[in-house]
Amino acid sequence: MEVIFVHAEERYSAPSVARSSLFKTLSIEKAVIRGLLLSTLDDPNRKLCTATSMAVAAIAVYEWPESWPDLLLFLLKLIGDQTSMNEGVEKERGCNSTR
């Protein structure tokens, strides 16, 4: 996208890209980025999970709930899956979670 300011006439020349197509492109790019971030939240590398969580939180401040309505549902499902997985591991190890 090119923005042109004509000095001699001191006026702004609008970019040639239609605003609606630009908005559509940005929406698609945002969706791809969100998907990539969410897909790495359950990575076994804890440092990567922490960094990704911080990025998700920073974006969610501006995007949730209006532009990212499924975020909370995804996070709750992820937490539930992790809890189930951890309980299964504890049972296999013979751990008692009521200690």
User: Distance between alpha carbon 68 and the CA centroid of its chain, in Å?
Assistant: 8
In tens, the pLDDT along 10-62 reads 666 565 656 667 667 788 999 999 999 999 998 889 999 999 999 999 999 99
Please check the confidence at residue 86 and state whether its pLDDT lies above 90: no
Reported pTM: 0.63
Instruction: Determine the Cα–Cα distance for residues 74 and 11; give it in Å rounded to an integer.
Output: 47
* 52 CB-near residues (< 8 Å, 6+ apart): 37, 40, 41, 43
Digit-coded pLDDT (tens) for 39-53: 999 888 999 999 999
When pLDDT is cut at 50, 70 and 90, the band that residue 91 belongs to is low
Cβ pair 99, 90 in contact under 8 A: no
pLDDT of residue 22: 67
